[in-house]
Structure 1
């Protein structure tokens, strides 16, 4: 057995974490022979709930789980981390304007970025889940100047999985028969689910998604809006936001960072946009198609972008630029 790695989950008493922690502790993310020390951070009022979560993790009797540390203190939570999954954020409340939401989250992710900078390993891999995830991730990265920006990413894998599943259901195939959908841009209703480079395995042969689906109007219309609005649809039906599917997407995202993507397959991640090949403005966390090897991501280069895609990619970039500029205005406050 190798030495244990230290993995932090914030918002650890919440419903996403409740679905997430078992998968991490069981070995679904970092490997079946990788011991883990789980650090669970939440706000002081949630500590009694967190104690219950710790008891449940202990009661799972998982061989890889060496220690569970519940805390409300950043100096404990961020110490010597190998991986940080930042789930906790300020949720949007009724009557709250987006700029108020941004302001509250800038304060949270500025302090967490500073804590990463001060206490975590410089090799730490940081995944931001709490919304608005792209901009929260950017603020955390800017607040941790000694950690490479390439070590920060935000979750758009849930949108990627949703898009793959929609195509699979439409074609009557399993979800793993669909590969290389792309989520461009922001984890918001402006995101662009793109299937122009997607392949579907139909009867043992890979064919382009447009040929497999045979309904261009759906792929350019209802499919896109279904993926963009899926989170809202879950809330409307369940009266709670996505938890099980979000936890699965977090596991997928971190496992791919740790173990790499398979040959010929790419995934969607929100990553730092400096010098990217698709004309997206620099200094954003923007979702791109990436391939991962040796715990390093690389944006997939050379994909052709038609006018339809270009317009949607630019629209979500414009939203991210506005979010970034608003958030940065709060950084010095």
Structure 2
């Protein structure tokens, strides 16, 4: 006969008595968790492909951690209202424990009210036959409106990540029309390019991507960006080794590697007949997670941030630099050696960004 056990308390087999206990022991977390207030996260263009991939990642804790509740604010244009409501229905159906609420709206003020983090995915894509200035003009109008709503209605110290292209210049326009949001709180996504560079090195060397670190994306999220491995390393059984030495092929690193990363988006469009969505959403989560929770010691990541003149990049551009993050703040990594080959690449992408800035500002008038 089984021994008498209080209700709700026993575990498996008791070796000393050989009896099997029939009720589970009450369990408690190994590490007590403190209740956190939900963070309000805005995703614009939420009914689009990137948004559809991104919102479940946020709701699952990929962006802010497995113990951080979130309230999702989703914005899209009126023609996408029905699709947006469908995304909201799916979020409800998924029963994400961390998801404490969903705001799905086509009203920019409602979408921006009280948000702590804004991920700006929505934008006007370039269509066949359109001139660059036409696309820029459309996006200037969109980002002017959204910036004003964030300026007036977002939570204090709101962090903004611009994903929609031209990402660097859209972020610059947003900064112009949200003057009370500190420049350090406005960034654009080059983490996707950073992750692409990590992936190319990982495949070339047949190593785990998690063992590769400190690649850099300099400049614009465009085909002029400069993926730089001169300071990157790989974790090996013999310690960290430089990527350039392990690859042993400067022609590949200075040629095909760079163009592959620069043109990866176009290659995915050719293969999928659609633009990058899953990888862009994942990179957006990586960007915000590292920004909010910090980068590992000795590791940096690439972020498009407001230039302070570091590395002779003109101040006043949103330019991708290597950064470290701690306590919600990013800091440009200083003192890296820039060789002549790299210098030309840094200057070329800065020139393109200066031209984009001039074009955008001409649209303002």
- Pairwise TM-score range, normalised by the shorter structure: over 0.9
Q: Aligned pair 1:56/2:90, yes or no?
A: yes
Q: Aligned pair 1:303/2:336, yes or no?
A: yes
Give the superposition deviation at 1:122.
2.8
Aligned equivalents of 1:56, 1:203: Cα separation in 2: 45
**Tell me, what secondary structure is at the counterpart of 2:157?**
coil
Q: Aligned pair 1:189/2:223, yes or no?
A: yes
Give the TM-score of the pair, scaled to structure 1: 0.98
Q: Aligned pair 1:34/2:72, yes or no?
A: no
Once the two structures are superposed, what CA deviation does each residue of 1:282-330 show, in whole Å capped at 9, x if it has no partner? 1100000000001000000000000000000000000000000110111
**Tell me, what secondary structure is at the counterpart of 1:153?**
strand
Report what 1:123 is aligned to.
Answer: 157
**Tell me, what secondary structure is at the counterpart of 2:138?**
helix
**Tell me, what secondary structure is at the counterpart of 2:297?**
coil
Give the superposition deviation at 1:202.
2.9
Could you list the structure 1 runs, at least 4 aligned residues long, displaced by more than 3 angstroms after superposition.
Answer: none
Report what 2:141 is aligned to.
Answer: 107
Aligned equivalents of 2:291, 2:175: Cα separation in 1: 17
Report what 1:151 is aligned to.
Answer: 185
**Tell me, what secondary structure is at the counterpart of 2:312?**
coil
Once the two structures are superposed, what CA deviation does each residue of 1:128-148 show, in whole Å capped at 9, x if it has no partner? 000000000000011101110
Aligned equivalents of 1:241, 1:323: Cα separation in 2: 22
Aligned equivalents of 1:8, 1:35: Cα separation in 2: 14
Aligned equivalents of 1:131, 1:122: Cα separation in 2: 26
Aligned equivalents of 2:361, 2:304: Cα separation in 1: 18
**Tell me, what secondary structure is at the counterpart of 2:316?**
coil
Report what 1:90 is aligned to.
Answer: 124
Matches within 5 A, 1:288-299: 288-299=321-332
Unaligned 5+ runs, structure 1: none
- Aligned residue among 227, 231, 234 for 1:200: 234
Report what 2:278 is aligned to.
Answer: 244
Report what 2:55 is aligned to.
Answer: 21
Once the two structures are superposed, what CA deviation does each residue of 1:30-58 show, in whole Å capped at 9, x if it has no partner? 12121111010000110100111011111
Aligned equivalents of 1:121, 1:284: Cα separation in 2: 25
CA contact 1:153–1:285 (8 Å) conserved in 2:
yes
Aligned equivalents of 2:333, 2:162: Cα separation in 1: 21
Report what 1:222 is aligned to.
Answer: 256
Report what 1:259 is aligned to.
Answer: 293
Give the superposition deviation at 1:203.
3.2
CA contact 1:200–1:209 (8 Å) conserved in 2:
yes
Aligned equivalents of 1:187, 1:23: Cα separation in 2: 23
Once the two structures are superposed, what CA deviation does each residue of 1:261-286 show, in whole Å capped at 9, x if it has no partner? 00000000000002x32000011000
Aligned equivalents of 1:145, 1:210: Cα separation in 2: 42
CA contact 1:122–1:146 (8 Å) conserved in 2:
no
Give the superposition deviation at 1:205.
2.0
Give the superposition deviation at 1:201.
1.8
- Aligned residue among 158, 176, 191 for 1:142: 176
Aligned equivalents of 2:241, 2:351: Cα separation in 1: 33
Give the superposition deviation at 1:204.
4.7
Q: Which one has a bigger Cα radius of gyration?
A: 2
Aligned equivalents of 1:268, 1:296: Cα separation in 2: 14
- Aligned residue among 273, 278, 303 for 2:307: 273
Unaligned 5+ runs, structure 2: 1-34
Give the superposition deviation at 1:191.
0.2
Aligned length: 331
